[in-house]
């Protein structure tokens, strides 16, 4: 890992912790939370609601766990152990870390903004964190032997688009404060980089 990358990760972790301790044990929004929530939910419509609910479902454990299980069995049969380690790390490992972080910060979800029922704690957003880690891992695996720079860029662009939409869907549905999503993105990116470093090919 390059020195500049290490510095970036340290800065991101410090930002994450700063937000975390600002929201620890709280049930209200901070910084831009309320204004962003009100703005995004101001465009409410039945079609948009269904779309956001569908996007959110794709990032849930109900969808991801069966898919990862099937893919893992296939990869295991193919004996692609490096790919298997990366995928399991970016999902199960990231989910586990997210659970621990939520217990640490104990933030209440934005109950007054709920469009759907959601249990559990709020910071950081698990959907945002795991999606960031997983989609970047998939993009990395697809492009690591790809020489065409344009194709690499398109794949990463698609990954970031999916990551962005996931975060927006969680805010739109009112189940996360925007700072939860930001924290999820930060730790998902940090986890992705650490996972790559640890799971050497």
**Helices assigned H by DSSP within 42-110:** 46-58, 61-78, 81-88, 94-105
Q: Is 171 in contact with 181 (CB distance < 8 Å)? A: yes
Report the candidate in 139, 137, 124, 136 with the shortest Cα–Cα distance to residue 170: 124
Query: Which residue in the list 123, 127, 177, 179 is annotated as catalytic?
Result: 127
Report the candidate in 140, 127, 128, 154 with the shortest Cα–Cα distance to residue 193: 140
User: What gap in Å lies between CA 99 and CA 129, rounded to an integer?
Assistant: 11
Q: Is 67 in contact with 122 (CB distance < 8 Å)? A: no
Q: Is 14 in contact with 156 (CB distance < 8 Å)? A: no
Q: Is 154 a catalytic residue?
A: no
Q: Is 127 a catalytic residue?
A: yes
Q: Is 111 in contact with 174 (CB distance < 8 Å)? A: no
Query: Which residue in the list 102, 107, 170, 176 is annotated as catalytic?
Result: 176
Q: Which residues carry out catalysis?
A: 127, 176
């Amino acid at each position: 890992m390059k020195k500049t990358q290490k510095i970036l990760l340290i800065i991101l972790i410090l930002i994450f912790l700063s937000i975390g301790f600002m929201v620890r044990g709280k049930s209200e929004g901070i910084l831009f939370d309320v204004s962003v929530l009100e703005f995004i939910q101001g465009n409410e419509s039945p079609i948009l609601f269904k779309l956001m609910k569908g996007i959110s479902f794709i990032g849930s454990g109900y969808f991801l766990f069966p898919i990862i299980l099937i893919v893992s069995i296939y990869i295991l049969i193919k004996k692609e152990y490096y790919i298997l380690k990366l995928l399991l790390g970016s999902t199960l490992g990231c989910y586990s870390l997210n659970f621990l972080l939520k217990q640490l910060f104990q933030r209440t979800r934005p109950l007054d903004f709920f469009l759907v029922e959601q249990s559990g704690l709020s910071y950081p957003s698990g959907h945002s964190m795991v999606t960031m880690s997983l989609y970047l891992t998939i993009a990395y695996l697809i492009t690591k032997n790809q020489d065409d720079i344009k194709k690499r860029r398109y794949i990463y662009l698609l990954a970031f688009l999916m990551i962005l939409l996931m975060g927006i869907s969680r805010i739109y549905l009112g189940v996360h404060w925007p700072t939860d999503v930001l924290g999820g993105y930060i730790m998902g990116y940090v986890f992705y980089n650490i996972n790559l470093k640890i799971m050497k090919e």
